[in-house]
Chain A
Amino acid sequence: MEQLTTSLAPPRANPKPSVTNSSQQVAGSVAKRLTNELMTLMMSSSPGISAFPKSDGNLFEWVGTIEGPAETIYAGLSFRISISFPANYPYVAPAIKFDTPCFHPNVDITSGAICLDILQDKWSAVYSVQTILLSLQSLLGEPNNASPLNTDAAAVWDTPDAFKAQLMKYYRPLKDTA
């Protein structure tokens, strides 16, 4: 059986160039996927979420903006995040962190690291920048207090006034320059 499959596999005459070739193809296809995602995101006009590549030369580093959902404690606040896509995206989740200090049970206040299942073990290739951003937006209003990164935040979550005070202590409004 083993032999059968190997003999069925297409002969690889010259492995070396084909390797470089395929890696180029991979990079190309990732870029294409990211371009498509950007297009979809731009056209979707979902309120309160947005992202764009940092520079015209690098499609793998994006900057995102998430507005706190209305009627939550984060309403009226905007958070800047940075998204970094791996070379083997979308088979591996992008690395995402908050640039704006975000007092939140699932967000590390100093590093900005995010604890969200779809960004770790639940990641799937069908997710996209848009789904990630929407998930993050909803995470703001509905934290997962069972596995907090920021235990202080998790502790005061139930007392909105105290939480708000802490939130505003750390929050920095967005500046114009990235």
Chain B
Amino acid sequence: MATAALRSQVAAKWHEGFNRLNRSEPGISGLLSFSQAWNIATDYLHPRDISDPTSVKHHDLPSVKASFDLINRSRRLPVMLETFLDDICDQYHLIVRDIEQYLAEYEESADTSVILRLVFRLVEWYRAWAPIDELGPTIRAAYTLTFQTQLFSILPPAFVRGFKALCASTLVPVAQLAPPMWEAFEVLGLTDRYEGIIASVGYERIEDYVRETCTGRWDKPCLEELRVWMTEQIVPWMLPMYAKGAGNTEDARGMLQNVGSRFDFHMNKTLCDLRTSEIFDIIIDFPDSNGALQDLKECLQRVDQRSSLVQALRKANRKRLLHPGADTKLILSQYVATIKCLRIVDPPGVLLFKVADPIRRYLRERPDTIRSIVANLVGDDDSGDSLVDENEPIQPLQQLETEDYNDPHWDPEPIDAGPDFRTNKPSDVISTLVSIYDSKDLFVKELQVLLAQRLLAITDDNFEKVEKERRNIEILKIRFGEAALQVCEVMLRDMTDSKRIDGHVQSQKASIVHPTIISRHFWPSLESSDIVMPGQFQALQTQYAKEFSTFKPDKKLRWLPHLGTVHLELQLEDRTIETDVPPLEAAFIELFSEKNTWTMDELIEGVGAVDRTAALKALITWIDLGVLKEDEENTFRLLEVTEEAAPSSRTAPTASETPTVTAAQQQQADQMRLYWKFIEGMLTNLGSLPLDRIQTMLRFAPGYDQTVEQLARFMEAARREGLVVGRDGMWKLNR
């Protein structure tokens, strides 16, 4: 049961409501006019179907306005807005129908103009349903919001695709811009909502363009050209979207600054990515790819892609360069090109350091690296293209120096430098290559070996070649220092001395032997051979040696017959054969002047001791020349009269040319033998010693450079051979 108080309260409310609507008009006439105004207003606002011509109603605008005014005065406007917005939601199915229709058409034709028409159609809807301006901006904004919310909630993904395509279509080729389209987008709020999509259209366009125009074009920088393209093509496209409402170019520039720099960044990034993916080939093409490197340098300053460049290059190197299939020379030249390229891209050398490390490590493991570098240094390269730039001034090798903090031009290390980064001052390529190894001694040794080979290969009076070597050595002296190449100097002097001595000996007693007399101590250890030259060769040698010892009584000749060449004239019954052959061949054929048939074993015995493969190879030379014939296996007969060349039953075994000079590796083994002598000496005299004592005592051995681990392995090997016994960490000789 309602109390009197409640009743009076309800009555008060009622009165208040009534008065608001009735506006103190007499009776309920106020109420009536309000309800009339409400009807007019809601009818006016009711969202109509624009595709239905009958739905078009003509309103008397003044009365509509009056109605709104009345509603406003009765403070019923919010309620009306609510009703209106509800109506919009109710009627939205009309728009949905339209959208579905257009999109279906688009799906079928993939024609972006359909989307454009759809957009315009939506604008029509929007305009048709919009309330009159007199209702004020609040209601207008509420309407727009509701319309757009509804719109976005129903737009299917297909629309987004179409929209993107539509945007793109305005870009390629940049069509005469369609300002109405952008306006329509703006009206519908599509610009804001799909800003990401619009931007991505721009990005994609940039990516496509960069890839299209710059891929594989490394000869000149592209960046400048791309910037021009951006200003001419992309900026006008951006204008209506990002600089809408800009009154003049000055304003527009200000508005574009932000988004413009984003696009510029994207362009840099795309180009950087492209060049990063091409970097290996760019380096191969160097110096024809200078332009690309300039671009890369500029991009890297803008875009932080340095680490990905390093990654990419390291990966490419691993895949394409640092494997057994690649020639050492090739790796070296690519390394040198890498040095040159990355010096352009990154002058402080951090990138280079990071990329070079694996290459250097790999090269260190290759046995023929030193040889290749040295061969290149002395211009012994078959390929002809030298690692060293002709124009680069020859300068002494530079040692890696510690940082000089007193240097007024000192710069701190770049921030991305690793802890073991060493600033290599722009040094020349040779210094860098030599620094692959810890010491230059290895190079000097290899250089001696190579020089020995080349000098010994010089025959006859070809003295220009010796002069050429001398020039080479002079140049190398500048790099490696006078002292290091002293031995080479002696070798060269031996060559000239030999000629002089030979001249003297010949003047005393003419001989057809022309030896090259070398000082054993200064030449790399030469492969020794046990060939004893038979017959007339022996006589010639002895005779020459006699003359030599009268000329130089304090010296004795030790022959290395296997290193020479012999010019032979064979007089056979029906023919004469003239040929230049190695000494072993000559020795064999000399034996045939004693008797016509020899077995292999007899022949080998006749010349001292040679290895069978070498012997067979020498004999096959004669078989090929048609001088000998192998009647039955291992029996050879001299063909005094030519016989029909029977197909040789044997093919030359693939005995590699015996290297004249023992290579550095062999020398290392010799070195270990030397160390063993020292170990033997100390263990003989000092009894048993612990390993570290041996290590320190080996200091006395010249050039000892092994680590204690290496020594331990060596001692272990000696133990296995029964030379030493080790007990309780003490080593002693096994006797």
Interface residues of A (CB under 8 A from B): 35, 38-39, 41-43, 45, 50-56, 59, 62-65, 80, 174-178
Option from A52, A174, A175 in Cβ contact (under 8 Å) with B682: A52
A52 to chain B: which residues have CB within 8 Å? 678, 681-682, 684-686, 697, 700
- Distance in angstroms from B82 CB to nearest chain A CB is 103
- B675-698 vs A, CB cutoff 8 Å, 1 = contact: the mask equals 001101110111110000100110
**Residues on B with beta carbons closer than 8 Å to the beta carbon of A56:** 693, 696-697, 699-700
Verify if B329 is at the interface (C-beta below 8 Å from A).
no
Kindly identify which residue among A50, A65, A177 contacts B688, using a CB–CB cutoff of 8 Å: A177
Contact A50 B685 (CB under 8 A): yes
Q: Which residues of B contact A178 (CB under 8 A)?
A: 685-687
Check if B426 is an interface residue, CB within 8 A of chain A: no
B732 adjacent to chain A (CB < 8 Å): yes
- Given A42-B674, A42-B677, A42-B678, A65 and B697 touching (CB < 8 A)? no
Query: In angstroms, how far is the closest chain A Cβ from the Cβ of B729?
Result: 14
Does any Cβ of A come within 8 Å of B653's Cβ?
Answer: no
Instruction: List, in ascending order, chain A residues with CB within 8 A of B686's CB.
Output: 52, 54, 63, 177-178
**C-alpha gap A114/B409 in the complex (Å):** 69
B173 at the interface (CB under 8 A from A): no
User: In the complex, which residue of chain A has the Cβ closest to the Cβ of B695?
Assistant: A56
A63 CB contacts on chain B under 8 angstroms: 685-686
Determine if A176 and B700 form an interchain contact, defined as CB atoms under 8 angstroms apart: no
Measured CB to CB, the closest approach of chain A to B362, in angstroms, equals 37
The contact of B681 among A35, A51, A174, A176, by CB within 8 Å, is A51
Q: How far is the CB of B588 from chain A (nearest CB, A)?
A: 36
Assembled-state Cα–Cα distance A107/B697 (Å): 31
Q: Are B732 and A176 in contact (CB under 8 A)?
A: yes
Q: At the interface, is chain A mostly helix, strand, loop or mixed?
A: mixed
Nearest 7 Cβ contacts at the A-B interface: A176-B687, A42-B677, A56-B696, A52-B685, A63-B685, A178-B686, A50-B684
1/0 per residue, CB under 8 A from A, across B692-726: the answer is 01001101111000000000000000000000000
Chain B residue nearest to A53 (CB atoms) is B700
Given contacts A35-B702, A56-B696, contact A176 B688 (CB under 8 A): yes
In the complex, which residue of chain B has the Cβ closest to the Cβ of A175?
Answer: B687
Are A50 and B681 in contact, with the CB atoms below 8 A? yes
A84–B620 Cα gap in the complex (Å)?
Answer: 62
Q: Tell me how far the C-beta of B581 lies from the nearest C-beta in chain A, rounded to whole angstroms.
A: 37
Report the nearest B residue to A38, measured CB to CB.
B700
Cα-based distance from A176 to B688 in the complex (angstroms):
6
Tell me, in angstroms, the Cα distance from A63 to B685 when the chains sit together.
6
A-B contact pairs, 27 of them (CB 8 A): A35-B700, A35-B702, A38-B678, A38-B700, A41-B681, A42-B674, A42-B677, A43-B674, A50-B680, A50-B684, A51-B681, A51-B685, A52-B678, A52-B681, A52-B686, A52-B697, A52-B700, A53-B700, A56-B693, A56-B699, A62-B685, A63-B686, A65-B684, A80-B685, A176-B688, A177-B688, A178-B687
In the assembly, what is the distance between CA of A63 and CA of B686, in Å?
7
Contact B681 A39 (CB under 8 A): no
Given contacts A52-B682, A52-B684, 4 further A-B contacts (CB under 8 A): A38-B700, A50-B681, A52-B678, A56-B699
In angstroms, Cα B324 to Cα A11, docked, is 65
The answer for the CA separation of A52 and B699 in the assembled complex, in Å, is 12
Per-residue CB contact flags for chain B residues 517-529 toward chain A (1 = under 8 Å, else 0) read: 0000000000000
